[in-house]
């Protein structure tokens, strides 16, 4: 199960009344269970890894990442995706030259485990 909770509070109107919900307990629960993603840095463990516009194999190709390249890992897909024998998340990364795109997680070694 993967959930992404980004709002700490939520406002909605109910019969001309504004109700404020505090979602921080949900966020704390998901964080303790290790279900929330926290941005980190990573290093590529293979060469010729395609950087894509979106997190799928059919997405536009933006360039290649090579073994040893450092990236800032900004986000991850909501679910793991099976590609051949691999089963991993897609990660939204920012390269050292500022290019932002998606790379398959099997080829990225994060600095800290997500």
- Residues of each domain in the chain carrying CATH 2.30.30.40: 40-110
The rounded percent of the chain whose pLDDT value lies above 90 is 58
Mean pLDDT of 84-92: 95
CA distances to 11, 20, 22, 25, 98 from 101, rounded to whole Å, are 32, 36, 33, 32, 10
Give pLDDT, residue 88: 95
Q: Which CATH architecture has domain 40-110?
A: Roll (2.30)
The predicted pLDDT at position 27 comes to 80
């Amino acid at each position: 199960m993967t959930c992404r909770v980004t709002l700490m509070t939520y406002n909605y109107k109910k019969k001309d009344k504004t109700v404020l919900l505090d979602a921080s307990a949900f966020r704390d629960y998901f964080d303790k269970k290790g279900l929330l993603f926290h941005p980190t840095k990573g290093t590529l463990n293979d060469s010729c890894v395609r950087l894509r516009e979106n997190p799928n194999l059919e997405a536009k190709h933006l360039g290649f990442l090579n073994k040893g390249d450092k990236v800032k890992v900004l986000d991850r897909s909501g679910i793991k995706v099976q590609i051949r024998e691999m089963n991993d998340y897609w990660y939204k990364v920012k390269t050292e030259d500022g290019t932002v795109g998606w790379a398959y997680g099997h080829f990225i070694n994060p600095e800290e485990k997500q």
